[in-house]
Structure 1
Amino acid sequence: MEGFDWKQTIKINIVLLKIVGLWPGGDGTYECNFYTFYEIFSLLFIQISHIAVQTVNLIFILNDIQAVTGVIFALLMEILGMLKAYCLVTNMKMLKQLMITVNSDLFQPKSHRQRNLIQPNLDAWKAILTYLHQFVAINCISLVNVNIDSLIAALNMYIGAQFDILCDDVRHLHDDGEDAPVDVTQKLKKCVTHHREILKFAENVNYFYNWLIFSEFFVGGICIGMSMFQLSVVAPLSSEFYSFISYTVLISLQVFMYCWFGNKIELKSSQLPYAVFESDWTDLSPEVKKLLIIFTLRIAKPLKMSAFGLFYLSLETFVRVIFLEHLGLILHFFVKLMHENKIL
């Protein structure tokens, strides 16, 4: 029967240790070579120096108990990691010998039955790798969510900023330039072109995140509803209760962020007609006044971002969503109370 390689079960662990300089190649320990120099650099100049800086920082903030408690728990865990690395390095010769021993003939399973017997133990160890994978995956997914949400927020704020610029241009339509008197007609045409380009940009942005917004509201609504349902079945004031409360608040904040920035676009675009009236339009020629009236009629309707036109991104939409979700929770509590009192 083919020999069983015990080291194969920790292959990923060994590779990661090699990357950080804590596992020299072969069955030997550290020698005078490049890898040993890399290990010293990794420990001294990266890890120990970081801990030293954190320790010095801790000394300077000893008078601030809140800051100390916020730093010391992370610092202690980092020191613990260095102690583990020190133990690993100093006991490397023994550890390598253990790897040789575990792969010796004496430690080999003798039959398929014995292999099946030890498999649960190996699977239990591999669960640690599964948790590691989950940890990395959750962090990657969180980074994706945060960065995409930030990107959408940035695009919305680009639109809002452009409306601010356009409002300022319209408000100072009659102001002379620094070098020469301004041509009001040409400046008004530039404002019209600018407004048209903003609308085109907003349309493309809205097209980009149509599905993202729709999915966010759909999935977020389901998650909030399920979380509120769980609130009705868990023990009040328990750890699970507070977990679901926190989850509901965070998901609501994520939905609120989309509505907030969409609402900002609507508000900023609605300021354009007021900017026209704030400009010094009384001294303009009749021809320019006619153009200005047409432009005012064109910008009278504020820009609203939406998801496929099904709902607009506004604070009003957010209030409706939260109201419906809380209404469902209240109805659930009411029905549950009636069942407990045998009214239904």
Structure 2
Amino acid sequence: MNQLEWGNVIRANIFMLRLTGLWPKSDTFGLTLYTLYSTICVNFFVALHVLSQIIHIVLVFTNLEAVTETMFMCSAECLALFKMYTFIKNIALVKSLIRVLNCPTFRPKNSTQRLLVQGNLEFWKLVNDTFIPSVGVTIVMWDVFPILTGRTKAFALPFPTWYPFDVKASPVYELVYLYQLISHFVLACAACNVDMLVIALMMSVGVQCEILCDDLNNMDSQDFATSLRSCIRHHKDILSCNKFYNLIVMGQLCANIISVAMCCFHLAMITPSHYQFYYLFGCIFCLIMQMLIFCWFGNEITDKLLNLNGLDNRCKRKNVY
């Protein structure tokens, strides 16, 4: 645990981000084949897929039921696309943050700090292993329901979209269906793993606040000035880890509220025996779980920062520095 490598903790998430074109080998996207692969994943499979849904919403805007059927998923997918572009834009910053977390200052220095890190890591892994499979089940339900319910005979697609060609003919219909499956997988996989990476960073900030509190409580009285300078540097490094995810978290909460509202409205218009009821319920469950996860880890950071500020005030009252 003393040689903790944060890159190893999120190794599976990094692999999935690399699979969806969001994690180059270097700190930037250069003129490489991977950049071309990333462009195809993000723009062809995700951006065009989202754009076709937006056009469909505009065309059926007077039909409230059709709009709500598409809007709740489209709003979540628009945010996922925004997260992908934001992640690509800040990839150098994200990798630098992971390197900062691997520096000696951020590593646990005693058994108490190792227990703090281990407890937080186990909880993050539990959240990761619960959230991603839940999203995966919902995605599979969404994508295969047209097949299981026989709606493919009427050339129904998983997502109501607009295309500048007729999809109600074979093999065009099958190719478009496959395109939507790939697009949905890339988008959901990228969004989920960006979320879990952001939550891992939030968790690490909270852990570092606890480690800093422990360092402040156990400063070396024989070499007080050196210990104090080390704690100050540690505090500045913690603050630098808070640059990346603020906008993503705010956008996620706003989009989830809109999606849940639209989904609940659409759910109220169908009966429990209808096939859509089950995957709509699954969507609501995943969206609410996602909001609770962000709120939980955000609240943990707030509480630990308050503890840190309280310790600082106690030190001032005792004229420690």
With the shorter chain as reference, the TM-score category is 0.3 to 0.5
TM-score, length of structure 1 as denominator length = 0.40
Structure with bigger gyration radius:
1
